């Protein structure tokens, strides 16, 4: 099986030992408490599940600046996005060596982790802007990821953590949320050797379905990991439960049995385009995947990134850093000429009129009106699930 990133074995920070878990929960009541941001809580979930191996906790300012500027930590580990705990108010934890981190996404604000504090550093306005600009490629506050990052606060609390729960993800998505540990175990139990990972924050239409099949065939993979983001999204994106239902229906009806694992991970979408694509590759390697599909405008939003920036950034990965291989995909669409889904780069004789292309806005209008998009664009069973969601939304 493919090795985890930067380590011989996966390094989940969740405390599996029951006695230690109980001790930490007891200790949490005696410690200063800090309410963290949704982003920091999601980082804890990813660290807990082993997805961010070999990191041991939240980065300090030196590492954050180094990662932003040079795509590596101060110690030289290739890493694309600072994994941080940024807060607005540190008055309750000044001088503390250990603190309990409270989860803003759980009703009871449960303790999500215990952190050993190695530093509390104030980030200057210039440093915060520089880090955010490097990550997101813009200083436009209309960019959802940039705006979230620069409004969380100006204090960076760094240090190793011990994770005590997986936030709301385990309860809300019991059949879908999986840690990197669990995915690796399932890949092994299925006897898969080559595994292609597909990232999605959207429902999967016909083009996505066929892209997974193309990639699986091209690399001769045993199976596909459909790995959906379950955390926070920007306004207007389709909720995780609706996506989950539609993807499961598509896999059930249109993929051969036992060739797809439908899973999800607990992280908030960054919309960081190229940088996020690199992060996606790292944590798919940690999940045991050998190949990762990077498509057109991967992890993008609006027109902040070029259509293939998320592919070309992999040229900056130091040789030997990543073991996972990238499957670079073009835009896929149904060809009326060939009566099948194709990658546009493979059919240079086609014009725009030869494809069935629908905008997201147009698809939503059709579904809201009770009209099924053409089956060449969306499987009818998937469209019906999305239609029910949009009609309920419009009726509210």
Active site residues: 201-202
Residue-by-residue DSSP string for 268-333:
-----THHHHHHHHHHHHHTT-SEEEE-TTTT--TTSS-TTHHHHGGGGSPTTS--SEEEE---EE
Residue 230 gets the label, from left (phi > 0), alpha (psi -120 to 50) or beta, of alpha
For CA atoms 283, 286, 287, 291, give the dihedral sign.
positive
C-alpha 257, offset from chain centre: 26
- The answer to whether 35 and 84 are in contact (CB under 8 A) is no
User: For residue 146, what is the enclosing H or E element?
Assistant: helix 144-150
Which pair of tokens denotes residue 136?
């997101």
Q: Considering only CA atoms, give the Rg of the chain.
A: 21
Cis amide linkage into residue 100, ω under 30° from 0: no
For helices 274-286 and 125-136, give the axis angle rounded to 10 degrees. 70
Which residues have CB under 8 Å from 96's CB, separation 6+? 31, 32, 117
**Is residue 65 within 8 Å of 131, Cβ to Cβ?**
yes
- Nearest alpha carbon to residue 1 among 216, 222, 194, 220: 194
CA 313 to chain centre: 17
In this structure, how many other beta carbons lie within 10 angstroms of the beta carbon of residue 299? 24
Q: Bridge-partner residues for 182, per DSSP?
A: none
Q: Are 341 and 207 in contact (CB under 8 A)?
A: yes
CA distance 358 to 58: 42
The single residue listed with the structure tokens 């939503």 is 364
Contact 222, 195 (CB under 8 A): yes
User: What is the rounded CA–CA span in Å between residue 120 and residue 242?
Assistant: 40
């Amino acid at each position: 099986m493919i090795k985890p990133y930067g380590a011989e074995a996966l390094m989940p920070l969740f405390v599996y030992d029951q006695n230690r878990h109980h001790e930490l929960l007891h200790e949490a009541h005696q410690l200063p408490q800090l309410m963290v941001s949704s982003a920091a809580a999601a980082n804890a979930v990813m660290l807990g599940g082993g997805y961010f191996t070999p990191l041991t906790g939240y980065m300090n300012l030196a590492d954050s600046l180094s990662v932003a500027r040079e795509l590596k930590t101060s110690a030289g580990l290739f890493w694309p996005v600072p994994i941080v705990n940024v807060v607005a108010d540190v008055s309750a934890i000044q001088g503390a060596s250990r603190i309990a981190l409270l989860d803003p996404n759980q009703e009871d604000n449960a303790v999500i982790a215990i952190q050993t504090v190695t530093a509390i550093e104030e980030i200057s306005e210039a440093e915060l802007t520089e880090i955010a600009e490097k990550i997101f490629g813009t200083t436009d506050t209309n960019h959802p990821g940039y705006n979230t990052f620069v409004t969380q606060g100006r204090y960076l609390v760094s240090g190793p953590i011990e994770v005590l729960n997986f936030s709301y993800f385990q309860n809300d998505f019991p059949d879908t949320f999986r840690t990197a540990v669990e995915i690796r175990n399932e890949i092994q139990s299925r006897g898969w050797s080559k595994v292609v990972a597909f990232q999605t924050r959207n429902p999967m239409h016909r083009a996505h379905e066929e892209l997974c099949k193309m990639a699986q065939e091209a690399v001769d993979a045993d199976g596909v990991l459909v790995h959906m983001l379950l955390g926070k999204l920007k306004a207007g994106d389709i909720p995780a439960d609706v996506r989950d239902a539609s993807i499961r229906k598509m896999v059930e009806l249109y993929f051969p049995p036992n060739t797809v694992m439908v899973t999800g991970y607990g992280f908030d979408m960054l919309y960081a385009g190229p940088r996020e694509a690199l992060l996606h590759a790292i944590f798919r390697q940690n999940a045991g995947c050998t190949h990762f599909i990077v498509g057109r405008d991967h992890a993008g939003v609006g027109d902040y990134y070029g259509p293939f920036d998320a592919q070309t950034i992999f040229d900056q990965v130091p040789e030997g850093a990543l073991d996972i291989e990238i499957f670079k995909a073009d835009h896929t669409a149904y060809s009326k000429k060939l009566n099948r889904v194709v990658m546009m780069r493979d059919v240079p004789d086609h014009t725009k009129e030869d494809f069935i292309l629908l905008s997201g806005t147009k698809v939503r209008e059709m579904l809201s009106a009770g009209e099924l998009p053409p089956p060449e664009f969306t499987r009818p069973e998937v469209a019906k699930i999305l239609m029910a969601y949009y009609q309920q939304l419009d009726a509210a």
